[in-house]
A and B are shown apart, each in its own frame.
Chain A
Amino acid sequence: MPVEVRLPTVLRSRAGGKSSIQADGGTLGEVLSDAVRQFPDLAGQVVTDDGVLHKFVNVYRNDEDVRYLDKLDTAVSGGDVISILPAVAGG
């Protein structure tokens, strides 16, 4: 069952202008791979060529930062929402 992947403004032009896409997979890594398969311009933007999350991107499963879950191995299932956001500071 596909999950919703919400894209930040800065990545939408790489996904046909969409703010949200559907992608398949049992883990976050699989979902993001499926997203790149559908929209090849997303390659390297969220997951680097070295296979880790990009330093300036935060990815959340249902508003929880996946870096503190199981990173790209974080389990996802139908109904989950994956949010991709650029790293932003306050202060």
Chain B
Amino acid sequence: MAVAASILDLIGDTPLVEVSQLSPNPSVRILAKLEGQNPGGSVKDRIALAMVKDAEASGALQPGQTILEPSSGNTGIGLALVCRLKGYKLRIVLPENVSPERRQLLENFGAEVISSPADEGSNGAVRKAQRMAAEMPDVAFLYQYGNPANPRAHYEGTGPEIWRDCPEVTHFVSGLGTSGTLMGVGRYLKDKNSAVGIWAVEPPAGELVQGLRNIDEGFVPPVFDPDLIDRRIIVRPRESIEWIRRLAEDAAIFAGISSGASMAGVARAANEIDEGVIVTVFPDGGWKYLSTGAWTDPIDEVVERLNNIIYF
């Protein structure tokens, strides 16, 4: 494809790159899928486009309508890009404690940003958007956390791309946000080879949400099927930062903070297996995290900052 009809045609088909020089086990290869190469800069462009197309096809979304969505940033940015080209208005409920770059990108693409309390994290953004959607029946509420088009975008896109480029994959390691990437890719790879191990990686986000009133304000995305994954581990900010610095130094890859968490998970998996090929997803590039000083400031200071912002 020499000339793309629009930026939307450039979503997906991202490159898979060898980062085995970072493997702690010489018998384990590591390949990373660079989702930061999507036009909106993250893996979430895929689900933004898929959810909008799905809602158009079902009639749930009408020309010129307003879309409302809770997002910690990347889904919102993907939707903002899609909405700008397709003529929809967009309102994003965004926790106050995301990096300023995320807010700036949303505003750049014309989204209206509605803040939700920092101490409630993404759970608070979800609750606020749900309340707003109930009060405003004229908005289209795509709801990434419960929309089957989210995992389907990965079952039909990301998963087949990985299988096409690396059928020898033995393990898939990915971050857990909405769980869409893990559910879609995981299910596709298990369908192709049921022996593929699926590992989920997450930040200690539960430590951030000081504002929950009771344990029932916890949130599990409806699209998440816990039986599909084999392991689930927490990666702390310090380890994530150490890994994005190593990626920059040893592989010249400028990856976002959740990519560092993924690499930490990959390294643990590589240490536990004798041999294999681990594929992981780098959800975005480093650009939106420059303001955290992640590559430049003393690591203790960066870790302290990351204890107070949402980067998944």
Partner-B contacts on A (CB < 8 A): 8-11, 45, 54-58, 60, 63-65, 67-68, 83, 85-91
Contacts A65-B232, A68-B229, A68-B231 hold; do A90 and B216 have CB atoms under 8 A apart?
no
Q: Across the interface, which residues of A come within 8 angstroms of B178, CB to CB? A: 89-91
Interface residues of B in 60-93 (CB under 8 A from A): 70-72, 74-75
Q: Looking at the assembled complex, report how far the CB atom of B52 sits from the nearest CB atom of chain A, in whole angstroms.
A: 16
- Is A89 touching B75 in the complex (CB atoms < 8 A)? no
Contacts A85-B207, A86-B209, A90-B175 hold; do A60 and B234 have CB atoms under 8 A apart?
yes
Q: Across the interface, which residues of B come within 8 angstroms of A83, CB to CB? A: 204, 234
**CA gap between A63 and B236 in the complex, in Å:** 9
**CA gap between A67 and B231 in the complex, in Å:** 8
Q: Looking at the assembled complex, report how far the CB atom of B106 sits from the nearest CB atom of chain A, in whole angstroms.
A: 14
Contacts A56-B216, A86-B206, A86-B218 hold; do A91 and B74 have CB atoms under 8 A apart?
yes
**CA gap between A8 and B234 in the complex, in Å:** 15
Closest to B210 in A: A9
**CA gap between A70 and B45 in the complex, in Å:** 37
- Is A88 touching B209 in the complex (CB atoms < 8 A)? yes
Q: Which of B151-159, B162-170, B219-227, B300-308 sits within the interface?
A: B219-227
**CA gap between A5 and B165 in the complex, in Å:** 44
Q: Does residue B114 face the partner (Cβ distance < 8 Å to A)?
A: no
Q: Looking at the assembled complex, report how far the CB atom of A49 sits from the nearest CB atom of chain B, in whole angstroms.
A: 14
- Is B175 touching A87 in the complex (CB atoms < 8 A)? no
Q: Across the interface, which residues of B come within 8 angstroms of A10, CB to CB? A: 209, 212-215, 217
**CA gap between A55 and B224 in the complex, in Å:** 12
Partner-A contacts on B (CB < 8 A): 44, 70-72, 74-75, 121-123, 126, 144-145, 175-178, 180, 200, 202-210, 212-221, 226, 229-236, 258, 310, 312
Q: Across the interface, which residues of A come within 8 angstroms of B72, CB to CB? A: 90-91
Q: Which of A64, A68, A85, A90 contacts B176 (CB 8 A)?
A: A90
- Is B123 touching A89 in the complex (CB atoms < 8 A)? yes
Q: Looking at the assembled complex, report how far the CB atom of A8 sits from the nearest CB atom of chain B, in whole angstroms.
A: 6
* Beyond known contacts A64-B232, A89-B123, A91-B44: 12 more, CB 8 A cutoff: A9-B210, A56-B216, A56-B220, A58-B232, A63-B233, A63-B236, A65-B232, A68-B230, A86-B215, A88-B208, A89-B178, A91-B71
- Is B232 touching A87 in the complex (CB atoms < 8 A)? no
- Is A87 touching B219 in the complex (CB atoms < 8 A)? yes
Q: Which of B145, B212, B232, B258 contacts A89 (CB 8 A)?
A: B145
Q: Across the interface, which residues of B come within 8 angstroms of A86, CB to CB? A: 123, 206, 209, 212, 215, 217-218
Q: Looking at the assembled complex, report how far the CB atom of B217 sits from the nearest CB atom of chain A, in whole angstroms.
A: 7
- Interface-central residue, A11, A63, A83, A90, by most chain B CB under 10 Å: A90
**CA gap between A8 and B211 in the complex, in Å:** 11
**CA gap between A87 and B217 in the complex, in Å:** 8
**CA gap between A83 and B226 in the complex, in Å:** 19
| 30 A-B pairs with C-beta separation under 8 A | A8-B212, A9-B209, A10-B213, A11-B215, A55-B220, A56-B215, A56-B217, A56-B218, A56-B220, A57-B215, A63-B234, A64-B234, A65-B200, A67-B226, A85-B204, A86-B215, A87-B206, A87-B218, A87-B220, A88-B205, A88-B208, A89-B123, A90-B178, A90-B258, A90-B310, A91-B44, A91-B122, A91-B144, A91-B178, A91-B180
Q: Across the interface, which residues of B come within 8 angstroms of A88, CB to CB? A: 121-123, 205-206, 208-209, 218-219
Q: Looking at the assembled complex, report how far the CB atom of A15 sits from the nearest CB atom of chain B, in whole angstroms.
A: 13
Q: Across the interface, which residues of A come within 8 angstroms of B221, CB to CB? A: 89, 91
